[in-house]
Chain A
Amino acid sequence: MNIKEIEGLLDRYYEGETTLAEEQKLKDFFLHDEVPETLRQHQPLFRFLISEAKLTLSEENQEASLDRRIERYRGETSILSVPPGKKRLYYLSAMAAGLVLLIGLVFLIRNEAGRKGYFENLRPSTELAYSQTRQALLLVSVGLNTGLDEVQRLKTLDNAMEQIQRINKFYNYQTQFINPERMQDPSTNK
């Protein structure tokens, strides 16, 4: 095949005017190793087109794809469908787990509290209760007695106040005699 013909085919190829047979001619030409320098720039394209047409879907690829599809299908359906027998088993096991947790918690708290002696303090003997109450009442009565003494002292204060009142009266009378006009205005009389 001469180069002129190939060049002509190439021109028509890029214009989209070649037939399939002519395009096959071009592919065959460029597959051949002895391509002249001037046309070598077109070689990669046609070699690429030939090699791409040989690409096949292998058996392993298809199996791998099928596996992926099954895996996806499983992932989509597993949440939706649980057989009823299994469902009951889930409920039962959940209840059992809850129960075990509760019992465990009760024991744990009891053990911890027992070690610290909480319950001994919370359950006092009657004797202890009596003595403690007595002590408390005693404290109140002693306080009350000292309080009464203070009130007694207040009485002497009251007496003293009475005397002062008398002095006040005397002072009032005195001013009434000496300076009667000052009585008109009680606000200044202080």
Chain B
Amino acid sequence: MNLQDFNTKVYPLKDKIFRFAKRMLGQTEEAEDLVQEVFIRMWKIREKLDEYRSLEALAMVTTKNLCLDKLKARKFPVESFNDQRQFIETIAEEARPDHSDLISGVREAMNTLTEQARMIVHLRDIEGYEFDEISEVTGMEENAVRVALSRARKRIREILINNKRYEYQRN
């Protein structure tokens, strides 16, 4: 695959990769950097890219793996200036008010899900993936995906209802 092909077949995936990375990592800046990382990984294996059935699936799997690595690293943080800066940025980003409290409530509800559940809801409800595609990215059985999706959707509903009840009590 040459640069021309790469630009027409791989590069257009940037928004999907970005959204997926942002869903997983929660930060814009880190997600932007991750998009570059994914492209670098794919460019390095450009000779073999034609052998893959779906470039999108490959890109999404790469994104998922890199995100999980980053999240794992976050659980055992190494003290450094960069981490502290990122931490401050995270707080700033979280503190930023959204257009609507109700919609940002959904984002918060989604962030309480496990990484796997968040991944599945994102791929299905935001990117509109079929179950077999989700199964390919997550490495789970289709049925397991379906069960996890249903559970995650119900969990979000539950959180939103509880939030609303809390608001009524306050008013």
B103 touches A57 (CB 8 A): no
Tell me the complex Cα distance, A31–B59, Å: 30
User: Nearest chain A CB to B70's CB is how many angstroms away?
Assistant: 15
Q: Which of B44-52, B71-79, B89-97, B123-131 contacts A (4 or more CB under 8 A)?
A: B123-131
Contact A44 B32, beta carbon cutoff 8 Å: no
Confirm or deny: B41 has a beta carbon within 8 angstroms of a beta carbon on chain A.
no
Residue from A23, A51, A62 within 8 A of B125 (CB atoms): A23
Shortest distance in angstroms between A55's beta carbon and chain B's nearest beta carbon? 5
In A1-28, the 8 Å CB interface with B consists of 13-17, 20, 23-24
Q: In the complex, which residues of chain B have a beta carbon less than 8 angstroms from the beta carbon of A23?
A: 124-125, 128
Q: Bin chain B's interface residue count.
A: 35 or more
B130 touches A14 (CB 8 A): no
CA of A66 to CA of B40, assembled, Å = 12
User: Does the CB pair A51–B103 fall under 8 Å?
Assistant: yes
Cβ of A45: which chain B residues have Cβ within 8 Å of it? 106, 156-157, 160
The verdict on A82 contacting chain B, using a C-beta distance below 8 Å, is no
The secondary-structure label for the interface of chain A is helix
Q: Mark B147-166, 1 if CB is under 8 A from A, else 0.
A: 10110011011001100100
Residue pair B146, A16 in contact (C-beta under 8 Å): yes
Contact of A49 among B15, B33, B125 (CB under 8 A): B125
B127 touches A53 (CB 8 A): yes
A61 to B127, CA, bound (A): 21
Give the CA-CA distance A65 to B14 in the complex, in Å: 13
A20 to B124, CA, bound (A): 8
A48 within 8 A of B: yes
A-B contact count (CB 8 A): 79
Q: Does B116 contact A (CB under 8 A)?
A: no
Known: A45-B156, A51-B103. A15 touches B150 (CB 8 A): yes
CB distance from A62 to the nearest CB of B (A): 7
Residues in B with CB closer than 8 Å to A42 are 157
Choice from A20, A24, A65 contacting B33 with Cβ under 8 Å: A65
A14 touches B154 (CB 8 A): yes
Given contacts A16-B147, A62-B32, contact A44 B100 (CB under 8 A): yes
Chain B residues with CB under 8 A of A141:
none
Contacts A48-B103, A48-B107, A69-B36 given; does A53 touch B126 at CB 8 Å: yes
B105 within 8 A of A: yes
Chain A proximity of B55: nearest CB distance (Å): 17
C-alpha gap A51/B150 in the complex (Å)? 21
Contacts of A53 in B (CB 8 A): 19, 126-128
